[in-house]
Amino acid sequence: MLKARGTGPMTAIETEELRKRFRGVNAVDGVDLSVPEGAIYGFLGPNGAGKTTTIRLLLGLLRPNRGRIAIFGENLKTKRRRALKSVGVAFETPAHYEHLTGRENLDITRRLLKLEKTEIDRVLDTVELTHVANRLVRKYSLGMRHRLGLARALLGQPKLLIFDEPTNGLDPVGIREMREFIKTLPARTGATVFVSSHHLAEIEQIASHVAVINLGQIVFQGEMTALRGLHAPRLEIAGNDLDAVSLFLSQTELAPTKKDGKLVITLSAAESAEREAAQINRNLVDAGFDIHHLVIAPWRLEELFLQLVGAKPLLASNADRREPEC
Ligand code: ATP
């Protein structure tokens, strides 16, 4: 059930059974999203998973075949203007007027939104483009163009910011800058941030909440810590005579496997990982083994992702996604 306004804590985005079909293919297939206010919500999935289609549905740029969308409790279908009033958006390849300056580009949107002129200085300052505000956009670097796209999204102080693959095409420095920028947005602006990416490690570094989409369906939704907590961490061990170490550990009911010249043990739970690791360390030293590496290695999101989608392919052909004809 979509939450009515004024009943309990507000969700920034809520969707129910959202579906979008293109020529018999479900690009978005029964998606229920719940984005808490104040979150940085990572929307993760491989190319073609349905991220951009979902975002276009959330923005009312596409009409769903089925399902409902509420933005801060306002039904997008019946209260479209009110629902979208509080949303700022930046697409992966921001389109600007090349022959105009950054300031002039922002001024076009400012006029459309009927905002004060001072709003331009505010957003330029937020994205740190004040020093190039009067430069033609065609002379901007790619990173500056992306930041100008974000500045436009920030005009009017929206309560919800939607960024579609904001780091696409950026170099490593640009990616880091964008990541740091997004990370500080809720604290600086009070906005909820919904950010899509196929870059798992990136989302892991910025998001408080995450949804994983594959083949148009959500395979995980929740707090980032819950995603990490789904799987126990592993202990990596390296030292002299690993075969003997492995045999010793097997006798204590642990099941080490060998990987890249190290032994890997799956610990029982994240909460007890340090205690378990310390005990294993003590046992090995007491038994006289020479250990020079003993590290708790959390699961990487990439590995979790593969586990979540299981045996399903990360991307099927459109024929595989076609609905059976009725
Ligand atoms: P990417 O990261 O590559 O942008 P994505 O997760 O955003 O991928 P979508 O762009 O939403 O994925 O595409 C989901 C599926 O829907 C794909 O199979 C795509 O080919 C299909 N699709 C998207 N838009 C259309 C359209 N306008 N007409 C037909 N099929 C479409």
User: Left, alpha or beta for 230 (phi > 0: left; psi -120 to 50: alpha)?
Assistant: alpha
Q: What is the DSSP letter of 261?
A: T
Residue 314 lies in a domain: no
Same structural domain, 88 and 137 = yes
In whole angstroms, give the CA distance from residue 274 to residue 267.
9
**Residue 209 falls inside a structural domain:** yes
The CATH number of residue 248's host domain is 3.30.70
C-alpha 144/C-alpha 176 separation (Å) is 13
Same domain, 123 and 258: no
Q: What is the rounded distance in angstroms from the CA atom of residue 225 to the CA atom of residue 236?
A: 21
Could you tell me if 173 and 293 lie in one domain? no
Task: In whole angstroms, give the CA distance from residue 240 to residue 297.
Answer: 20
Report yes or no on 206 lying in a domain: yes
Q: What is the distance in A from the centroid of ligand 1 to the CA of 22?
A: 9
Q: 260 and 117, same structural domain? A: no
| 81 and 164 part of one domain | yes
Structural domain contains residue 188: yes
Is 65 inside any structural domain? yes
Residues 6+ apart with CB under 8 A from 297: 233, 234, 235, 236, 264
Q: Are 130 and 121 in contact (CB under 8 A)?
A: yes
- Give, for 14, the enclosing helix (H) or strand (E): strand 11-22
Our count of domains for the chain comes to 2
Q: What is the CATH number of the domain that holds 160?
A: 3.40.50.300
Q: How far is the CA of 48 from the centre of ligand 1 (A)?
A: 5
Q: Tell me, yes or no, whether 194 lies in a domain.
A: yes
SS3 262: strand
| Residues 53 and 93 both lie in one domain | yes
322 lies in a domain?
no
Q: Of 182, 212, 228, which residue constitutes the final position of a domain?
A: 228
Q: What are phi and psi of 263, to 5 degrees?
A: -95, 140
Chain Cα centroid distance, residue 117: 33
The angle subtended at Cα 97 by Cα 92 and Cα 98, nearest 5°, is 95
pLDDT for the residue 47: 83
Helix (H) or strand (E) holding 185: helix 172-189
Q: From the CA of 188, how far away is ligand 1's center (Å)?
A: 33
Quick one: 193 and 281 in the same domain? no
Same domain (yes/no): 51, 141? yes
**CA count, 13 A, side-chain hemisphere, 131:** 2
Task: Write phi, then psi, for 80 (nearest 5 degrees).
Answer: -55, -50
Give a yes or no: residue 36 inside a domain.
Answer: yes
Which ligand 1 atom is nearest residue 54's CA?
A: 11
Pocket test for ligand 1, best of 51, 92, 214, 322 (most atoms within 8 A of CB): 51
**280 and 218 share one domain:** no
Ligand 1: residues within 6 Å at CB? 22, 27, 45, 47-53, 198, 318
* Closest by CA position to 148, among listed 133, 165, 170: 133
CA–CA gap between residue 195 and residue 208 (Å, rounded): 11
Atom of ligand 1 nearest to the CA of 318: 18
Per-residue confidence (pLDDT) for residue 319, from 0 to 100: 46
Atom 29 in ligand 1: which residue has the minimum CA distance?
Answer: 22
Radius of gyration of the chain (CA): 24
Residue-range definition of the domain harbouring residue 124: 2-228
Residues 139 and 240 in one domain: no
Is 114 in the same domain as 252? no
Asked if 178 and 288 sit in the same domain, the reply is no
Can you give the pLDDT of all 326 residues of the chain as single tens digits?
555 555 556 899 999 999 999 988 999 999 999 999 999 999 998 888 999 999 999 999 999 999 999 999 999 999 999 999 989 999 877 789 999 999 999 999 999 999 999 999 999 998 889 999 999 999 998 889 999 999 999 999 999 999 999 888 888 888 888 898 899 999 888 999 999 998 877 888 899 999 999 889 999 999 988 887 777 788 999 998 999 999 999 988 788 999 888 999 988 877 788 999 999 999 999 999 999 999 998 666 667 777 777 645 444 444 444 554 43
